[in-house]
Amino acid sequence: MLQKALVLVLVAASIAGCIGCGTTASHYVYTTIPAANQVIAYREDPNSGVLTQIAGSPYTVGDGARSAVLHPSGKFLYVANPGQLEDDISLFTIAANGALTEVTPRTSVGTNASQPELLAMDPAGAYLYTMNTQSNNISVFSIDSASGALTQLPNSPFAVGLPLLNMQLTPSGNFLYVTTAGASDGFIVGFSVSAGVLTSIGPPSSSGGINPNGLAIDPSGTYLYAANTSSNTISIFGIGLAGAPPGMLFQVAGSPLATTYTAPVSLILDPKGAFLYVANQGSSNVAVYSISSSTGLPAVLTTSASTGAFFTEGSPSFLAADPSGKYLFVGNQGSSAGIESFGVSSGNLTSLFTYSVGSTPSSIAVLQ
């Protein structure tokens, strides 16, 4: 089964650390390992991208730990536990050295067999959204800014009614988009967001392909990108174009974009929205596209590798970026399961290091 987790990377408060020359701000990287029910924590050297495992790591978490997301304050880490004996969310406090301490008891999603697979958080850190793949709905929790404690909203969960694949908030936090599977086509369901409450924007939009596992929104909130894994295409939508209702999706001219690679499963944009990175699970590579600022259309980056893609050490299942834009992290599955780091320069990638984690990682969150 294709890994569908899509990591959510949030900029958080810098934590002082001595590195010598260059920047002196330590970064921390957290990755979930579902098979081991663990979170592994690393210190990232922001001048080299080298990851060093933190003493006391890995940390035990709930059954099937799938998705991790950071609070923008840098004080809390949340992990979704979709295992049948769990259906809950773990809260960890983060120490100055990046170490984690779990706060118990864990927060139940509510209904049995919900399977919370993916987490997303609004930019203010006021609400946490949980995608429940078994019950096909979204649970929403308010977040206590002092303790990090979660309280489920009265009308939560909010029904979607289709098999869920992915979700993402716009940078403003005003809209939430959910990709879903269909018999012959995928769909994208849009919600407007007010104080955490979800209201359907309108009928689902066709994703333009089958199994839209990958989902990304540019930093301006103008374009949405969907990777249709079973169609080997990338669809591009304008969000609330001039004269259209806010949040409505319209597929742009030239979309979907056919790729020369197989099984695109994860997407991520660089912090400026100038480059799109696509993890192609079937081709074991990461393709790089430059983005037109006027149309949102991606084009193969001609200065990248001759094929327009960079091969990975394994079968890539998800992507995560350092908020500085200097490094890209790839989660690989298969015989080379682990984390691979790339340096980033003008969109181009340079393979740096690989880290074995003993099993397939499912998400990465980076604290800057």
Tens digit of each residue's pLDDT (9 = 90 or more) over 123-160: 999 999 999 999 999 999 999 999 999 999 999 999 99
Q: Is 271 left (phi over 0), alpha (psi -120 to 50) or beta?
A: alpha
Greater confidence (15 vs 21) lies with 21
Percent of the chain whose predicted confidence (pLDDT) is above 90? 73
Q: What does the pLDDT read at residue 359?
A: 87
- CB of 70 closer than 8 Å to CB of 77: yes
Closest CA to 202 of 185, 187, 214, 189: 189
Share of the chain above pLDDT 70, in %: 91
Q: String of b and e for 90-99 (b: at least 16 CB within 10 Å)?
A: bbbebeeebb
**Whole-number pLDDT of residue 202:** 87
Range from 199-213, 238-252, 267-281 carrying the lowest mean pLDDT: 238-252
Tens of pLDDT, residues 56-80: 999 999 999 999 999 999 999 999 9
pLDDT of residue 25: 74
User: Sign of torsion, CA 315 317 321 325?
Assistant: positive
Identify the bridge partners of residue 24 per DSSP, sorted by sequence position.
none
Please choose, from the candidates 151, 180, 138, 169, the residue with its C-alpha nearest in 3D space to the C-alpha of residue 72: 169
pLDDT tens, 108-121? 997 667 899 999 99
Query: CB-based burial of residue 130 (10 Å sphere; 0-12 exposed, 13-18 middle, 19+ buried)?
Result: buried
- The reported pLDDT for the residue numbered 19 is 30
Confidence label for 313 from pLDDT (cuts 50, 70 and 90): confident
**Residue type for 78, please?**
Y
The band of 22, judged by pLDDT with boundaries at 50, 70 and 90, is low
Supply 305's token pair: 């590798």
Residue 5 tokens, joined? 């987790």
Q: What is the mean pLDDT of the chain?
A: 88
By C-alpha distance, which of 248, 132, 123, 249 is closest to 196? Answer: 123
Sheet with 88-94, strands from edge to edge, namely 67-70, 76-81, 88-94, 100-108
Tell me the pLDDT band of 4, cut-offs 50, 70 and 90: very low
**pLDDT for residue 174:** 96
